[in-house]
Amino acid sequence: MAPSATSTSSRSQGRGLGQGQGLTAEELQTYNENGYLIIPNALDPSTTTSLLHETQEMLSSFSLTDHPMTKFSTGQGKDKSAHIGDDYFLTSGDRIRFFFEEDAFDASTGELSKPKHRAINKIGHYLHALNPAFRESTLNAYHAGIAQSLGFKDPRVLQSMVICKQPEIGGKVGSHQDSTFLYTDPPSAVGFWIALEDATEENGCLSFAKGSHRRTPVRSRMVRKNDGSGVEFVDVKGAKFPKDFDVEEKELEEEMYTMGEVKAGTLVLIHGNLLHKSEKNWSKRSRFIYTFHVIKGENEYDGRNWLQPPSVGFSRLYS
């Protein structure tokens, strides 16, 4: 398993979540040039195992009784009309909720065809505030140091979730930009993506269009429909690149993607404008990851975004 050498941190030893020294000059240059950065061993093995165990406990303990069978759809599955957007999803920004894989149901009966712990696509979207283990692994000096290195003055954390990528049914996620779903004006989102299990070509690791963050504007954003019936994609009226960003004038007709196979405990930083994707998990091994996003608190985050802040506001990574 060989991650992309050009976007992998040269530091191979774990640095610990209590340390807030931030990125090295080399790491920052790699991130700025490529739009992503792979940092091996960012999470120590004991913490990785603890978060994985916590996830398994949540999957085993939640009740199916009266639980809405809400599927998380990327819009690329068999049921393209059943896109994310029901009330259970739209009110999940300050709660911990469970969303099913599209292929976890029997097509003829509509009943689950997998055990519940093997049927969930993701758990979200407020783990960093409501679950102590994930809170400690999110709101800490290590991530604060990274945010400072990236120029954040008032970093706010939102949309924290475990994505399960279940064996044999874990859905494909097409090429996308995170700022489409968490739009600020100007764009500012950065994804913090942490592997809780090894991510390989076989179980659906990420792939990145290196450098696409500098040539691909955020053209559309996912918003709540005005009638409250769900979500839709609309054209971006505001800025399409971050402020004072070095933009390449010409887009590529076809992007080339670099596969990012990583070991458990790896942190991947993903620029909000970067095109990235993952394939379906056809293997018999899951690909559990934990991810959260950081935006600039001083940038406009309006009421049309699908995920709205809780009454206390989005969580501060540091003051």
Q: According to the 3-state scheme, what is the secondary structure of the chain?
A: CCCCHHHECCCCCCCCCCCCCCCCHHHHHHHHHHCEEEECCCCCHHHHHHHHHHHHHHHHHCCCCCCCCCECCCCCCCCCCCCCCCHHHHCCCCCEEEEECHHHECCCCCCECCCHHHCEEEEEEEHHHHCHHHHHCCCCHHHHHHHHHCCCCCEEEEEEEEECCCCCCECCEEEECHHHCCCCECCCCEEEEEECCCECCCCCCEEECCCHHHCCCCCEEEEECCCCCCEEEEECCCCCCCCCCCCCCCCCCCCCCEEECECCCCEEEEECCCCEEECCECCCCCCCEEEEEEEECCCECCCCECCCCCCCCCEECCC
- Tokens representing 44 are 């120590």
Task: Please report the pLDDT score of residue 15 as a whole number.
Answer: 47
pLDDT tens-digit series, residues 195-224 = 999 999 999 999 999 999 999 999 999 999
* Amino acid, res. 197: E
Task: State pLDDT tens for residues 51-88.
Answer: 999 999 999 999 998 787 776 654 434 443 444 568 89
pLDDT at 82: 46
What per-residue confidence (pLDDT) applies to 248? 93
Residues in the chain, pLDDT under 50:
3, 5, 12-18, 74-83
> Does pTM surpass 0.85?
yes
State how far the Cα of 141 lies from the Cα of 36, in Å rounded to an integer: 21
- With tokens 């009421």, the residue in question is 303
* 163's tokens: 């994505």
Predicted confidence at residue 110, as pLDDT, reads: 87
Tell me the chain's radius of gyration from C-alpha atoms.
18
Distances (CA, A) of 73 to 203, 225, 274: 18, 17, 21
